Amino acid sequence: MDSTDGSMKTDLVVYVAILVLACIQVFVLKGNLVAMLLVAVIQAFLAVGFFMHLFSEKRSLLLALIPATVFVLMMMNMIWSDSFRLIHMRAFPK
Amino acid sequence: MSEANLTMGAHGTAVMEERPFAIPSKKLVMWLFIISDACTFGAMLFAYGYIKNAAADWPHPFETASIMNALLMTFILVTSSLTMLIATRAAKSGDKAKGLRFTYITVVLGLAFAGLHLKEWFGLIGQGVRMFQNPWGAPMFGATFFSVTGLHLAHVVSGAIALTVVALGYNRGRYNADDIEIWSLYWHFVDLVWMFVVPMVYLMNVK
């Protein structure tokens, strides 16, 4: 199947959904970082899946790209404990 | 055709090796670039979060006008993704004129986004924000803000240039609809990154 198959109607629905989610971020969730990032993840899911047509590509492509990327991004979260330590200027434990 | 794409048949005849992901190699290259770029942006945003988290007096300079500007920029960028989708669909179906028209509309929307971005930058610079100083607090605010948004802005501008080059080549017959589709992947990725930049950089720093 050609990865650009699918209807214009689907594209429009995804377009409107992404904009509505952006408005929710700004007007409802402003200041709540976790909630805003969750909404951003949903927006990214829609963009990757429908705008970039990853869901209509061969499954092996999705499995080759997404888990590795998510793993790398998750591993970057190990910095947070150090940034909390830094704000209190606490020494590293001996 | 490179030798790497060939394998020898039972009687010495060369046959095509099946593509593992059933996509053209240049599309795979674009996907690989996109995931490496996602890690770059991820690292930038994590570094931004680290520095913000570790600063006791992080500034919150963005007023309602800046947030509305960011929302308008989001609207323009997401709309440009839609026009890029229309361009790709038209190019794939052989409607060259429509494909070109919507690719150029995408470029114009990208440049409008860049213009609004620069307006925001100059507004902050006018208020005294520099790379390592600002009137409000943590001096690293300028460095992180300009780095994250600057990297994204560089992607938008280079995307607009690349789309123009590909559209001109497509018009002359040098490139085909596949090239339009491949560069549309890049454009959607730039759109996707902005969805994370807005909450982290703008919405968490509202006055």
Each domain of chain B, given as residue ranges in start order, spans 24-205
Is the pLDDT score of B9 beyond 80? no
Q: What is the pLDDT of residues B100-155, one digit of tens each?
A: 999 999 999 999 999 999 999 999 999 999 999 999 999 999 999 999 999 999 99
A40 in Cβ contact with B196 (< 8 Å) = yes
pLDDT (average), residues A72-82 = 92
Which letter does DSSP use for residue B7 in this model? E
A39 in Cβ contact with A25 (< 8 Å) = yes
Kindly list the residues from chain B whose CB atom is less than 8 angstroms away from the CB atom of residue A7.
none
What is the C-alpha to C-alpha distance for residues B181 and B184, in angstroms, rounded to an integer? 5
What is the C-alpha to C-alpha distance for residues B156 and B148, in angstroms, rounded to an integer? 13
Q: How confident is the model at residue A1 (pLDDT cuts 50, 70, 90)?
A: very low
Q: Closest to B50 (Cβ–Cβ): which among A44, A52, A83?
A: A83
Crossing angle for the helix pair A33-46 and A8-27, nearest 10 degrees?
170
What is the least distance, in Å, from the CA of A94 to any CA of chain B?
21
H or E element that contains B36:
helix B25-54
* Interface predicted TM-score (ipTM): 0.89
B189/A52 Cβ within 8 A: yes
Interface-testing mutation among A1, A52, A90, with chain B (most B C-beta atoms within 10 A): A52
Q: How confident is the model at residue A5 (pLDDT cuts 50, 70, 90)?
A: low
Q: Closest to B53 (Cβ–Cβ): which among A2, A22, A84?
A: A84
Q: What pLDDT, on the 0 to 100 scale, is given for residue A11?
A: 93
Give long-range contacts, CB 8 A cutoff, 24+ apart: B18-22. Answer: B20/A60, B21/A57, B21/A58, B21/A60, B21/A61, B21/A64, B22/A57, B22/A58, B22/A61
A39/B203 Cβ within 8 A: no
The letter for the amino acid at B101 is R
Q: What pLDDT, on the 0 to 100 scale, is given for residue A2?
A: 53
Which letter does DSSP use for residue A90 in this model? P
Count of C-beta atoms within a 10 Å radius of residue B14? 12
Q: What pLDDT, on the 0 to 100 scale, is given for residue A85?
A: 82
**What is the token pair recorded at B54?**
């570790």
- Find residues 131-150 of chain B whose CB sits inside 8 Å of chain A: none
Whole-model pTM: value is: 0.90
Architecture of the domain delimited by B24-205: Up-down Bundle (1.20)
B31/A87 Cβ within 8 A: no
pLDDT (average), residues B174-179 = 96
Check if A81 contacts B (Cβ < 8 Å).
no
Q: What pLDDT, on the 0 to 100 scale, is given for residue B5?
A: 47
Is the pLDDT score of B202 beyond 70? yes
Q: What pLDDT, on the 0 to 100 scale, is given for residue B200?
A: 95
Q: Closest to B203 (Cβ–Cβ): which among A26, A80, A82?
A: A26
Q: What pLDDT, on the 0 to 100 scale, is given for residue A31?
A: 85
Is the pLDDT score of A88 beyond 80? no
A86/B75 Cβ within 8 A: no
A39/B196 Cβ within 8 A: no
- Find residues 50-69 of chain B whose CB sits inside 8 Å of chain A: 50-51, 53-56, 67
H or E element that contains B16:
strand B14-16
Give the residue, B19 or B116, on which the prediction is more confident: B116
Check if A57 contacts B (Cβ < 8 Å).
yes
**What is the token pair recorded at B68?**
């509305």
Considering only A55-69, A75-89, B176-190, which range has the smallest mean pLDDT?
A75-89
Name residues whose C-beta falls within 8 Å of residue B136's C-beta, 6 or more positions apart in sequence.
B57, B59, B60, B61
